[in-house]
């Protein structure tokens, strides 16, 4: 079969339906993963993960046109939407929609910084990424879909999906921030106020 694929680099699309893990000689690669779907009958979507051990390629019979609802590291994911040449418009539309959803946070993301504070690390999805400074770390979270909080210290930038109010340490070495979409900004302000109240409280 000779199909067409429309790729969405750096994006973890939501799982489609009837998914299976594709197997290869040697490890899965992004290229092998997309090519498997392009040349297979009844494959509309792939999601490649470089961070899985070993790297994984999930293929789906029916594509989803949504993004994964959770934090993902854009450096580790690659999605593609495939189909026959006569049905290319459907799959192009799926790619465009998913890329728009992933990019929406870049326009609508907002953060409140907490210099000198290390917030308690939340449970749930998180990953480390490089940042030259605290503001670069905050920007990573502001623009990443479903990123809620950062912890930055000495070029180490950790992004979290979930948010916490309590702090675990104070000092110049620490930097935290909480982020959300603009529409949820009032919730960020409320959390900021609670943390500031805790900082003022005398130690128990």
pLDDT in tens, 17-62: 999 999 999 999 999 999 999 999 999 999 999 999 999 999 999 9
- Residue 86: partners with Cβ closer than 8 Å, 6 or more residues away: none
Residues 122 and 184 in one domain: yes
pLDDT in tens, 83-100: 999 989 999 999 999 999
pLDDT in tens, 61-83: 999 999 999 999 999 999 999 99
Mean pLDDT (the chain, rounded): 95
Mean pLDDT, to the nearest integer, of 163-171?
A: 96
Residues 67 and 149 in one domain: no
pLDDT at 48: 98
Residue 1: pLDDT above 60?
no
Residues 136 and 193 in one domain: yes
Residues 116 and 170 in one domain: yes
pLDDT in tens, 98-136: 999 999 999 999 999 999 999 999 999 999 999 999 999
Give domain status of residue 111, yes or no. Answer: yes
Query: Are the CB atoms for 110 and 188 separated by under 8 Å?
Result: yes
Give domain status of residue 191, yes or no. Answer: yes
Residue 168: pLDDT above 90?
yes
Gap between the Cα atoms of 151 and 70, Å rounded = 18
Gap between the Cα atoms of 76 and 54, Å rounded = 12
Confidence of residue 202 (pLDDT cuts 50, 70, 90): confident
pLDDT in tens, 177-189: 999 999 999 999 9
Give domain status of residue 22, yes or no. Answer: yes
Residues 76 and 146 in one domain: no
pLDDT at 204: 64
Give domain status of residue 92, yes or no. Answer: no
What is the extent of the structural domain holding 149?
107-200
Give domain status of residue 94, yes or no. Answer: no
Give domain status of residue 62, yes or no. Answer: yes
Give domain status of residue 98, yes or no. Answer: no
- We report the CATH number of the domain holding residue 132 as 3.50.4.10
Residues 77 and 112 in one domain: no
Residues 70 and 25 in one domain: yes
- Residue 25: partners with Cβ closer than 8 Å, 6 or more residues away: none
pTM of the model as a whole: 0.90
Residue 123 CB-density burial (10 A; 0-12 exposed, 13-18 middle, 19+ buried): exposed
pLDDT at 99: 97
Alpha helices in the chain (DSSP H): 30-38, 88-108, 134-143, 185-200
Residues 38 and 118 in one domain: no
Instruction: Map residue 189 onto helix, strand or coil.
Output: helix
Total structural domains within the chain: 2
Residues 69 and 121 in one domain: no
């Amino acid at each position: 079969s000779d199909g067409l694929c429309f790729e969405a680099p750096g994006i973890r699309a939501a799982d489609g339906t009837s998914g299976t893990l594709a197997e290869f000689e040697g490890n899965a690669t992004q290229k092998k993963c997309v090519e498997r779907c392009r040349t297979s009958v009844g494959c509309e979507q792939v999601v490649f993960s470089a961070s899985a051990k070993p790297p994984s390629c999930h293929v789906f019979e029916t594509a989803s046109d949504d993004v994964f609802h959770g934090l993902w590291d854009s450096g580790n994911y690659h999605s593609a939407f495939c189909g026959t040449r006569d049905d290319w418009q459907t799959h192009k539309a799926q790619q465009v929609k998913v890329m728009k959803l992933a990019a929406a946070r870049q326009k609508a993301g907002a953060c409140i910084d907490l210099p000198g504070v290390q917030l308690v690390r939340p449970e749930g999805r998180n990953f480390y990424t490089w940042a030259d400074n605290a503001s670069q770390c905050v920007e990573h979270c502001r623009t990443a879909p479903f990123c809620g909080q950062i912890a930055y210290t000495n070029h180490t930038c950790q992004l979290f999906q979930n948010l916490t109010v309590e702090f675990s340490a104070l000092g110049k070495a620490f930097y935290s921030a909480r982020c959300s979409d603009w529409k949820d900004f009032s919730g960020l302000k409320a959390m900021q106020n609670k943390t500031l109240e805790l900082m003022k409280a005398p130690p128990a």
